Amino acid sequence: MKIQEYQAKQIFKNHNIPIPRGQVALNSSFVQQIAEDLGGKVVVKAQVLVGGRGKAGGIRLASNPDEAEEFATEMMGMDIKGYSIHKVLVEEAIDIKKELYLGIATDRVLASPVIIASSYGGVDIEEAAEEAPDKISRITIDPLVGLCDFQIRCLAVSIDLPRKHWRIFRQIALAMWTIYQSHDASLVEINPLVISEENGLVALDGKMTIDDNALFRHPELADLRDLDMENPCEIEAQKYGIAYIHMSGNIGCLVNGAGLAMATMDILKLKGGDPANFLDIGGGAGSEKVSSAFRILLSDKKVKAVLVNIFGGITRCDEIARGIMDALDEQKGKTVPIMIRLVGTNSEKGYEILKSRNLKTATSLVEAAEKTIALAEKK
């Protein structure tokens, strides 16, 4: 679960990480007053759960309260990378001398938390990592030992941090480590962490991702979930216990088992197709689950064809076939072509059911992928 910048900053503030003064507004008519209270010159920041807002027009520097309100009015309802803006954060504008990067993330390869710092802040860290990998320092944190002073000093040196900011840098890094642990976060990031003439080090942006699997330990964080901002299909899928991840392609995938779902997407890619989603209905799914999965994946308007790839183990292929029929009855008006491959328990029975509807089927995965790609291109 990602949380909004203003929410992350509230957590930062509670842990004594310096942040700019500011207030969130749900309506642009409050913005003028907020800006007035903050001294007039403010930054209006779109609260959406995607990065790169700056480049997309979601971060604007206003020189007076009227302008701030104007910018907020323009932003509200605007779209950034498919997410519409319902909230803006209005903050005092900070003079920036230098932008740094500081983050703590879970490194899956090392199976360990790492603290990352760079003098190359403000930009996408992924971009920086490609352009100037030597400008990024990473230090593994042993979870049993915790973040040590010598590690923080190493980072401070590696980003050429002036000596006078070291004390507060240490305080910020330690606070981030505390936050990372106590919130079961997989990412706590400040980008940019700025050096300002007047204020010293300030966290100008804040990003946090919390491990969904640990959310049950944090009932207090559940309230921070911003359902407006999440993909509605993903929320719907969670309700039915379906693992669904939305992607950018045009071929909907319905598969049982995460590994098989990944393999199905790989084959589609290999054959020149582009999957619209990852969808795993899990083991032993009944017809009801199949039809809700269909509903979810067809609600994506980009889907031009659907590939169903089922391996019947505990899951019975005839159950799946029945689910597909139900889904089709439900989706009457829609005419997205479907390619189905069933292997394993009761597959013959399944195919028989499908035949009664003249549905397209395939026996091998490669054949199914190629045919689905052709169907998607035809549309």
**Would you name the residues annotated as active-site residues?**
101, 189
- Report the partner that residue 18 touches, choosing among Mn ion, ligand GDP, none (CB closer than 5 to 8 A by kind): none
- Report in angstroms how near the CB of residue 318 gets to ligand GDP at its nearest: 49
DSSP code at position 183:
T
CA distances in angstroms from 30 to 58, 62, 339, 345, listed in the order given: 18, 15, 53, 61
- Report the partner that residue 53 touches, choosing among ligand GDP, Mn ion, none (CB closer than 5 to 8 A by kind): ligand GDP
Binding-site member from 13, 23, 36, 51 for ligand GDP (CB under 6 A): 51
User: 112 - beta bridge partners?
Assistant: 107
- SS3 letters across 68-136: HHHHHHHHCCCEECCEECCCEEEEECCCCCEEEEEEEEEECCCCEEEEEEECCCCCCHHHHHHHCHHHE
Please say which residue, 61 or 235, places its beta carbon nearer to ligand GDP.
Answer: 61
- Report in angstroms how near the CB of residue 312 gets to ligand GDP at its nearest: 46
Q: Is 375 helix (H, G, I), strand (E, B) or coil?
A: helix
Binding of residue 205 to Mn ion (CB under 5 A): yes
Cα torsion angle, 89, 92, 95, 99, sign: negative
Cβ-proximal residues to 374 (8 Å cutoff; 6+ apart), any chain: none
Binding mask 102-131 for ligand GDP (x = CB under 6 A): --------------------x---------
Segment interacting with Mn ion, rule: CB under 5 A, options 85-93, 139-147, 203-211, 262-270? 203-211
- Report in angstroms how near the CB of residue 148 gets to ligand GDP at its nearest: 28
Pick from 186, 316, 303, 309: nearest CA to 259: 309
- Report in angstroms how near the CB of residue 155 gets to ligand GDP at its nearest: 20
- Report in angstroms how near the CB of residue 14 gets to ligand GDP at its nearest: 20
- Report in angstroms how near the CB of residue 59 gets to Mn ion at its nearest: 8
Segment interacting with Mn ion, rule: CB under 5 A, options 111-119, 171-179, 186-194, 313-321? 186-194
d(CA 65, CA 368): 59
Segment interacting with ligand GDP, rule: CB under 6 A, options 30-38, 53-61, 136-144, 339-347? 53-61
- SS3 letters across 270-312: HCCCCECEEEECCCCCCHHHHHHHHHHHHCCCCCCEEEEEEEE
End-to-end CA distance of the chain: 35
User: 140 - beta bridge partners?
Assistant: 114
**Binding to ligand GDP, residues 284-343 (CB under 6 A):** none
- Report in angstroms how near the CB of residue 49 gets to ligand GDP at its nearest: 10
Segment interacting with ligand GDP, rule: CB under 6 A, options 11-19, 51-59, 137-145, 178-186? 51-59
Binding-site member from 103, 113, 192, 252 for ligand GDP (CB under 6 A): 192
Binding of residue 22 to ligand GDP (CB under 6 A): no
Asked whether the beta carbons of 240 and 84 are under 8 A apart, the reply is: no
- Report the partner that residue 43 touches, choosing among Mn ion, ligand GDP, none (CB closer than 5 to 8 A by kind): ligand GDP
Please say which residue, 128 or 242, places its beta carbon nearer to Mn ion.
Answer: 128
Cβ-proximal residues to 38 (8 Å cutoff; 6+ apart), any chain: 21, 22, 23, 90, 91, 92
Binding of residue 53 to ligand GDP (CB under 6 A): yes
128, HSE (Cβ side, Cα atoms, 13 Å):
19
| Beta sheet of 22-25, edge-to-edge order | 22-25, 88-92, 42-46, 59-62
Q: Is 56 helix (H, G, I), strand (E, B) or coil?
A: coil
Binding of residue 191 to Mn ion (CB under 5 A): yes
Binding of residue 59 to ligand GDP (CB under 6 A): yes
Binding of residue 43 to ligand GDP (CB under 6 A): yes
Interface contacts to Mn ion, rule CB under 5 A: 191, 205
Interface contacts to ligand GDP, rule CB under 6 A: 43, 45, 51-54, 59, 61, 93-94, 96, 99, 122, 191-192, 204-205
